[in-house]
Amino acid sequence: MGRAGLSVEVVTRAGADLADDDGLETLTVSSLARRLEVKTPSLYTYVDGNADLRLRVTALALDEAADLATAAIASLSGRTALAALADAWREFARRHPGRYAATRQAVPSSGTDAAVAALGAGRRHADLLRNVLDHYPVAEGDTVHAVRLIGSVVHGFVSLELGGGFAHSDPPSDDSWDYALAALDRTLTR
């Protein structure tokens, strides 16, 4: 029997909040137990250990980011959809750095319910990218490459920015962001 008020969802969300506050690398069952003011063993009713907890946070974060991206690109196409999708990811990363870090983790290809959920949420992101690419003249055989190109540019830029890589130089990173998205659009258009 679990503690009153706790559930898998509550524990997962609290873990995601802790990751945002203190960094994903600090997220453990014991650090979460301290945050929730419960004994560590009581959380094993809801998660199977540190790896399971982080994987559940990954699935939650991927779903949250996919919801934001879906709303951002609704009824858009072409460069505006590409920019809206990228902006949604960038904003998600800025607001939720721990959750964002969780989305960058490798997900096992099978296994637990958390892995299945994370894989499903990851597929939503790939589908969103493919929807954006439907409005570009990308050959069918090049779609995977184009998806990886967009992901590399967006997530590479966001990771460098979050790490302070652009903080001490001009022009502002927003200018470089616009430049990168315009370059992606030109590349995909050709």
What is the DSSP track for 123-160? Answer: HHHHHHHHHHHTTTT--GGGHHHHHHHHHHHHHHHHHH
Token output for 69? 């991206």
CATH of domain 59-189: 1.10.357.10
Average pLDDT over the chain reads 93
The whole-model pTM stands at 0.90
User: What are the residue boundaries of the structural domains of the chain, listed by start?
Assistant: 59-189
The separation between the first and the last C-alpha atoms of the chain, rounded to the nearest angstrom, is 59
pLDDT digits (tens, 9 = 90+) for 50-100: 999 999 999 999 999 999 999 999 999 999 999 999 999 999 999 999 999
pLDDT digits (tens, 9 = 90+) for 36-52: 999 999 999 999 999 99
Residue with tokens 């960094």: 23
